[in-house]
Amino acid sequence: MYLGVDGGGTKTAFVLLDDDNKIVSQHLDGTCYYIEVGIEGAQKVLHNGIQAVFTKAGIPIQQLKYAFFGLPAYGEDSSMLETLNAMPGRLLPTQKYQCGNDMINGWAAAFGGGDGINIIAGTGSIAYGQRQGKSVRCGGWGELFSDEGSAYWIGRRGLELFTHMSDGRCEKGPLYDIIKQKLNIQQDLDICALVLSDWKGERGAIANVSTLVYQAAQQNDIAAKTIFNDAALQLAKIVDASRKQLDYVAGEPVNIAYSGGVFKAGELIMTPFKQAMAHFSDDYQIHQPQTTPDVGAALYARLLSAQ
């Protein structure tokens, strides 16, 4: 059995693959983002998920061949690496697993371990790619001053737009009423108490506002559409910087894939994203990922086991 774990800002997905790469069982749990839930909280999610996915499969943990844990924020604080690497160790022998950043899951899911660049736009945003043995990450510096084009970034821009509409700094569009209705805002300034006091600026809650921006854009809110256009450009910039760091030469095809909840917006994000990519280079070839990031993590576990 090969175990893949895809940790994200809002959820953690577990999957077991057999020797034929067939899914044996899956499990979904809460976020293991340790910056938000703490090390104990993250460890609890991982331990519960490991046990649950093996229980669902009716297979003892001892049948595990190898596992890969793609964890959010892994590698972004070198002092935490030893702690993060040890989290699965209470249940699994250390020689049977490896931890890394969750960006690797999306890349492995996209190309099955082949060369190319995957851009993730979920709660946060980041790109990871490999070419001829060289790897690179780009973006993903955290929501406070990075994660451009992510659901958090879109949600924060949507909240900002609401305040501008309330102030009269821009024309009121559908987003104004959507936010008031969906978030049960009686007086416009109540949004401050909601976001700062009730949500406490929580990352996932702000990211969820991106769905309201999407609804407004679907109702032809021009300002909301602009947010998605801007997000697409930011994501394209992250990809293009990755291409340059991987030393692709002119005329060489560059395989690109994408994953994360932002891309569920469909053509609202894909059309401007493809336009921006074409502006940067004619060599980009954009593909849908071959599978999901949790399965990608399990496929990567298989690759690691063979090394």
Residue pLDDT, tens place only, 66-107: 999 999 999 999 999 999 999 999 899 999 999 999 999 999
**Does 236 lie in the same domain as 156?**
yes
**Does 46 lie in the same domain as 184?**
no
CATH number of the domain where residue 35 is located: 3.30.420.40
Residue 245: predicted pLDDT: 98
pLDDT tier, 273 (very low <50, low <70, confident <90, very high otherwise): very high
Of residues 307 and 96, more confidently modeled: 96
**Does 34 lie in the same domain as 157?**
no
**Does 123 lie in the same domain as 268?**
yes
**Does 100 lie in the same domain as 14?**
yes
Q: Is 4 exposed, middle or buried (0-12, 13-18, 19+ CB in 10 A)?
A: buried
Mind listing the pLDDT tens digit for each residue in 238-250?
A: 999 999 999 999 9
Residue 90: predicted pLDDT: 87
**14 near 4, Cβ under 8 Å?**
yes
**Does 127 lie in the same domain as 95?**
no
H helix or E strand, kind and range, residue 257: strand 254-259
> pTM to 2 decimals?
0.89
By DSSP bridging, strand 11-17 and strand 23-30 are antiparallel
The domain in which residue 205 lies consists of 113-289
**Does 128 lie in the same domain as 47?**
no
Which two three-digit tokens encode residue 165? 């509409």
**Does 199 lie in the same domain as 59?**
no
Number of domains in the chain: 2
Mean pLDDT of the chain: 96
Mind listing the pLDDT tens digit for each residue in 1-40?
A: 999 999 987 899 999 999 999 999 999 999 999 998 999 9
The type of residue at 82 is E
Query: Residue 281 and residue 260: Cα distance in Å, rounded?
Result: 23
**Does 182 lie in the same domain as 78?**
no
